[in-house]
Amino acid sequence: MFRERTGALLELLDRPLTTYYLIVGCSALLLALGLMMVLSASSIEALQQTGSPFSWFLRQSFSATLGVPIMWICSRLPQRFFRLAGYPLMVLSVIGLILVILVGESQQGAQRWIDLGPIYLQPSEPAKLGLALWGADLLARKARAGRIEWRQLLIPLMPGTAILAVMVMLGRDLGTTLVLMLIFLSLLWVVGAPVRLFGVILLGAVLAAVIMITVEPYRMARMTAYLRPWEDAQGAGYQAVQGQIAMGSGGWFGLGLGSSRQKWSWLPHSESDFIFAILGEELGLAGTLAVVTLFGLLGYAGLRVASRVNDPFIRLASAATVAWVAGQAIVNIGAVIGVLPITGIPLPLVSYGGSALLPTLAALGMLLSFARREPGAREALAARGPGPVARALSWLGLGGPKARSRRAGRTARSFDR
């Protein structure tokens, strides 16, 4: 029986559309769960600040309403679009980060946002996607040209990454700097850089992190709170302690959806940085394990794309996207449960924030586009027939086989005349 089930599972994983459906399913479940948890976690504070418990949930829903079509469009775009998009996206990200340094707003010790009136823009979020696309195209072009010596591959990738990282660090955003380094290291890993290079880069990153921590008093307080949060439970360790109380209160299956006690102004940033703690309190260990499993499957799907498609750009961009999304999830969850310092980065697809949600959905749409290029995927999609969007368009006479046949008939009749 066990062998039969294992064989059936392996057969399922070997199907050409497995990756495609894994990305769609995991993304949809995480996004739906995120909207539900944003509504629960933000309702009390939103009611106090705006008079409506639904205000932040409606903003996140609006971002999701924009992001899902972007994801769908990206899943239909050709590879060439993503190769070209990295360059203007990098330029816009650099301009945005410069504006953050000059006119950005500072919150919780980090200067990350540009106030555009009704919305806040965080340029460091699209910078992650820009670095992944730009770096993947640079390395893919050099690999195709036969120049695969790792010393050549560092130029201009390392200076470009350093520019982004330095500007983000000038905004005192250590968490985003860490994610940018994860993207950079993943690109070097796929291209086959030697292990000693990773050692040098990691040593430099550790030294830079130590300097950033020592020069900013609030970061030193966070490190102290990370090591001994309960010694200053009402001061620097307050958020970490309240997050652990929320996680511990959930038990196996949680207090029930909407029943969190910590969201009643006890846990700061419960709708964004610490939404995983509210999730653990309301849905328990079962809910947190489900979220971890979904991120694990999403990472597996991205690496599966990278391993099954031979194109260098697709392999590099897929690996960089996995390092970004899965790495950011690990850092966020690790901070909530107390195994990593608090860095203030959101949980992808789950935390509140449109600036983070839209680039993430665009990157996942890109993975879907790459998954359609796996061996046998195009044939399987064609055999499946038109999807719901195509069928809806055909009913309206705007697309699909019916509309094409009608257009062909009209064309034939015009020639007959």
Q: What is the DSSP string of 278-317?
A: HHHHHHHHHHHHHHHHHHHHHHHHHHHHHHH---HHHHHH
* Those residues with Cβ within 8 angstroms of residue 394's Cβ, 6 or more apart along the chain or in another chain: 386, 400, 401, 402, 403
Task: Say if CB 276 and CB 305 are below 8 A apart.
Answer: no
Lowest mean pLDDT among 117-126, 157-166, 276-285: 117-126
Helix axes 79-103, 354-371, angle to 10 degrees: 170
**Residue 110 carries which DSSP code?**
E
Task: Say if CB 284 and CB 290 are below 8 A apart.
Answer: no
Read off the pLDDT of residues 60-84 as tens digits, 9 standing for 90 and up: 999 999 999 999 999 999 999 999 9
Q: What pLDDT score was predicted for residue 389?
A: 55
User: How many alpha carbons lie under 13 Å from residue 172 in its C-beta half-sphere?
Assistant: 16
Name the token pair of 379: 């044939």
The Cα–Cα gap between 117 and 375 comes to 47
* Those residues with Cβ within 8 angstroms of residue 255's Cβ, 6 or more apart along the chain or in another chain: 249, 261, 281, 282, 284
Name the token pair of 166: 């330095």
The Cα–Cα gap between 331 and 176 comes to 10
The Cα–Cα gap between 302 and 317 comes to 9
Q: What pLDDT score was predicted for residue 106?
A: 67
Band of residue 403 on the pLDDT scale cut at 50, 70, 90: very low
Q: What pLDDT score was predicted for residue 409?
A: 47
For residues 136-159, average pLDDT: 74
The Cα–Cα gap between 107 and 87 comes to 30
Read off the pLDDT of residues 290-345 as tens digits, 9 standing for 90 and up: 999 999 999 999 999 998 888 899 999 999 999 999 999 999 999 899 888 887 78
Task: Say if CB 282 and CB 40 are below 8 A apart.
Answer: yes
Task: Say if CB 398 and CB 407 are below 8 A apart.
Answer: no
For residues 386-390, average pLDDT: 59
The Cα–Cα gap between 119 and 103 comes to 15
Band of residue 351 on the pLDDT scale cut at 50, 70, 90: very high
Q: What pLDDT score was predicted for residue 109?
A: 59
Read off the pLDDT of residues 39-52 as tens digits, 9 standing for 90 and up: 999 999 999 888 89
Task: Say if CB 377 and CB 20 are below 8 A apart.
Answer: yes
For residues 11-31, average pLDDT: 84
The Cα–Cα gap between 336 and 331 comes to 9
Angle formed at CA 374 by CA 71 and CA 76, multiple of 5 degrees:
30
Most confident segment among 136-150, 212-226, 253-267: 253-267
Q: What proportion of the chain, given as a percentage, has pLDDT over 70?
A: 80
Band of residue 405 on the pLDDT scale cut at 50, 70, 90: very low
Band of residue 376 on the pLDDT scale cut at 50, 70, 90: low
Closest to 15 measured CA to CA, from 331, 304, 361: 304
* Mean pLDDT of the residues in the chain: 83
Q: What pLDDT score was predicted for residue 413?
A: 45
Task: Say if CB 44 and CB 26 are below 8 A apart.
Answer: no
Band of residue 149 on the pLDDT scale cut at 50, 70, 90: low
Q: What pLDDT score was predicted for residue 417?
A: 44
The Cα–Cα gap between 79 and 366 comes to 9
Task: Say if CB 233 and CB 243 are below 8 A apart.
Answer: no
Q: DSSP letters along 144-162, please?
A: HTT---HHHHTTTHHHHHH
Q: What pLDDT score was predicted for residue 112?
A: 73
Residue with tokens 């330095």: 166
Give, in order, the Cα–Cα distances in Å from 51 to each of 61, 120, 370.
18, 20, 44
How many Cβ atoms sit within 10 Å of the Cβ of residue 147? 11
Name the token pair of 376: 């046998």
Lowest mean pLDDT among 254-263, 281-290, 369-378: 369-378
Structural domain boundaries in the chain:
16-374
The Cα–Cα gap between 174 and 192 comes to 27
The Cα–Cα gap between 296 and 300 comes to 6
Angle formed at CA 349 by CA 344 and CA 351, multiple of 5 degrees:
40
Name the token pair of 257: 């959806």
Total residues belonging to the chain? 417
